Amino acid sequence: MSFPRDISWSLPFLVLVLVTWQPPVTSLKHKNMICDKISECVCRFPTGHSINLTNLASTTLNFNDTKDGLVYYLNPCGQAHTPCSNGSSLCVLEEKTNHTTDLGPMNASVFSTQGMFSPVYLSYEISDLTTEIKLVCSDKPESILLLDTDIDDLEPSAEPKKYLLLQSPEACLKDADAFSDNSASNGLSSGAIFFIVLIVLWCSYILVGAVANHFLRGATGWEMIPHYQFWKNVPTLFMDGFKFVANGCKPPPSYEQI
């Protein structure tokens, strides 16, 4: 026996598709969102957007500040290479004395944000030396470490603070869809679950109704579908509604104007 190929079957699935494939929400109530540290160089916003610098794990970036005779070395994800000491992600070399100062112990990075999403800062603190690295999304393929000269520090602190800037395509905000294969997105949204429950209930209704109609009322074929006349009209109603909305919520031109 072939199953009736009623178009209304595909309707709830269309709705499900529309509900689950939505663009990320950008109008947020909470402006100063926290970017939660997921790992040494990954943080995630409550929206599921993330900053993931993992691709920089195998490189140590450096910046040669020739003016001050200092060279900075950074590996935001782990051990920076020499001259940084063992267990250091960020260090600075004073070229004149060949002395290296540890600025960022491994596993001590702190993410902070200003504004809604950006800029995101990666900070390190070691015995009153604070370094703040501004993460700047770049469309160029290479990642560059620089001194941040454009500091808008409203409250200059007593302790020395260093400002760096990491310009990288890896510093771009990745949207929630990039996290399909891990715990980052907590599965389906409650809206999607609601629609799945609705669809399951609807399918059970059709199946139970069809079985009941068949055995209790002897219905066969299309007539087995409960409220067949109503469901048959659903696609038409849906199309009418769609035309109505597409026409700016005015009756489509084919309707008689009153």
Ligand X SMILES: *[C@@H]1O[C@H](CO)[C@@H](O)[C@H](O)[C@H]1NC(C)=O
**Which residues of the chain form contacts with ligand X (CB under 6 A)?**
38, 42, 52, 54-55, 64, 66, 71, 83, 86-87, 98, 106-107, 179, 182, 184
86 vs 254 by CB, closer to ligand X: 86
Query: Whole-angstrom Cα distance, residue 251 to residue 59?
Result: 62
42 vs 225 by CB, closer to ligand X: 42
Provide, rounded to whole angstroms, the least separation between the CB of residue 145 and ligand X: 12
64 vs 114 by CB, closer to ligand X: 64
64 vs 204 by CB, closer to ligand X: 64
**Parallel, antiparallel, or unpaired: how do β-strands 99-105 and 161-168 relate?**
unpaired
Strands (E) located in the chain: 36-39, 42-44, 50-52, 61-65, 70-74, 88-94, 99-105, 110-113, 120-126, 129-137, 144-147, 161-168
Provide, rounded to whole angstroms, the least separation between the CB of residue 179 and ligand X: 5
Provide, rounded to whole angstroms, the least separation between the CB of residue 177 and ligand X: 12
Provide, rounded to whole angstroms, the least separation between the CB of residue 19 and ligand X: 24
Overall residue count recorded for the chain in this entry: 258
Provide, rounded to whole angstroms, the least separation between the CB of residue 135 and ligand X: 14
118 vs 225 by CB, closer to ligand X: 118
Dihedral of the alpha carbons of 186, 189, 190, 193, in degrees to the nearest 10: -100
Exposed e or buried b per residue across 215-246, where buried means at least 16 C-beta atoms within 10 angstroms of its C-beta: eeeebeeeebbbebeebeeeeeeeeeeeeeee
